[in-house]
Amino acid sequence: MAGVRRADYTLGHGSTSYRVTHYDLDLDYKLGPNRLTARARLDAVADEELGRIPLDLAGFTVKGVRVDGRAAKFTHRGEHLVVRPVRPVRGAFSVEVRYSGNPRPVASRWGEIGWDELTDGALVASQPTGAPSWFPCNDRPGDKATYRISLTTASAYTVLVTGDLVARRAGGSATTWVFERREPTASYLMSVQIGRYDELELARGQRIAVPRRLRDAAAHDFGRQPRMMAALGEWFGPYPFGEYVVVVTDDALDDPIEAQGMAIFGANHVDGRRTFERLVVHELAHQWFGNSLTVADWRHIWLNEGFATYAEWLWSEISGGAPADEHARVWRSRVGTDVTLGDPSVAHLFDEQVYKRGALTLHALRGRVGDAVFFPMLRSWAHQHAHGTVTTEDFIAHAERAAGVSLRDAFATWLG
């Protein structure tokens, strides 16, 4: 793959001129008018002197910006907020942004993504560029930070945010919920869910938030999730977060969505017959591959989707479905080869080939090195890079160390 001209996978967002270490967000959301009033503080580090600080923020009226406590000039056009501090910053610095408006999804080639209104509530589904629809951020997957999020909204609604609930304060008609996300997290993996939900506990650290009308069907459809968690723990190592929350919205969704320690399903994915069980294990697998191990940039997306798809095949094999060999045989004959897996282009990030050929790559690797090497290799991969960022080259090098032989030819066959 050396010498090949690479596509730009920034998707028009993010900056490598600095990195954010922590976000502190205070959000006040009124559901009826879909109105968000907010303050965001970003703690960041710049290795070089910066006279301008680019942030991603779509829509909203920016009321003021401060850098290290001092008012700063700024321009805000489209999805980009550029801050100009009184003096250039270097090393540790902070940016505070006050803003308000009507949050709405960001338009993209994959449809509208980000903060979205439900029939009775709201959700955030940000992959890959929807995070600026609700907070100013350095929106690139390789820039992972910790978070504190305080959200105030009507008391009749349950609020779930990707993080640990550390406080809840009811005050008349509104309640403030405070969450902390202590593990480094990419901006696109932060999520807010607001709705009228019942909560079901599946196992310790595993729960479902679901509309009451879907309670029994969801209990059945997600009933084998604790077994999935145990199986994925054997294949990939211990679950990387403190808990796992599944949210089932009362509206239909095109596809389930992963977030850090959370997955969001639509009402159309719950039928009481486990029709969509492969999606349950797929989203759970993303907690290891995509969320704990996050791609450095979107070029490497097969490390997310190929691994999650292969988890589907592995689960099928042990739960009474077709073995992984059969899934591989079917998809080898069905999936195309016109997308380069190791450099799929922005247009094909979510192409079926990325998912299925990614899984085929892993199955071929398993056949090459054998189970006695393959599964310990996956566990050490997940452990050594936990809560970090990864690339395809990282994985190839890791696999070769585990196997003790060169695997370049095998990877070249699949990755292009």
Q: Residues annotated as binding site? A: 282, 286, 305
Q: What is the DSSP letter of 94?
A: E
Count of other CB atoms within 10 angstroms of residue 242: 11
165 DSSP β-pair partners: 179
Residue type, 137: C
Amino acid identity, position 287:
Q
CA 30: distance to chain centroid? 25
Q: Token pair of 25, please?
A: 């967000």
Strands (E), 142-186: 145-154, 158-161, 164-171, 174-185
Marked catalytic residue, from 239, 283, 310, 312: 283
List the structure tokens of 197: 């939900």
User: Judging by DSSP bridges, how do beta strands 244-248 and 206-210 pair with one another?
Assistant: parallel
Query: Tokens representing 163?
Result: 């993080």
User: Helices H, strands E: what count in the chain?
Assistant: 9, 23
Q: Which of 18, 29, 99, 355 is catalytic?
A: 355
Cα(283)–Cα(186) distance, integer angstroms: 17
- Beta carbons within 8 Å of 224's beta carbon, 6+ residues apart: 274, 277, 280, 319
Known catalytic residue: 201?
A: no
Q: Which residue positions form the known binding site for Zn(2+)?
A: 282, 286, 305
CB distance 29 to 3 below 8 Å: no
Distance set, CA 244 to CA 161, 207, 227, 232, 325 (Å): 12, 7, 14, 13, 30
| Rounded-to-integer distance, Cα 355 and Cα 336, Å | 11
CA dihedral 45, 48, 51, 55 (to 10 degrees): -40
User: Would residue 355 show up in a list of annotated catalytic residues for this protein?
Assistant: yes
> Nearest 5°: phi and psi at 66?
-130, 140
Start-to-end C-alpha separation, the chain: 7
Q: How far is CA 320 from CA 203, 272, 315, in A?
A: 22, 18, 9
Residue 317 has which token pair?
Answer: 């094999």
Give the contacts of 385 (CB within 8 A, at least 6 positions apart). 292, 293, 394
Catalytic residues: 283, 355
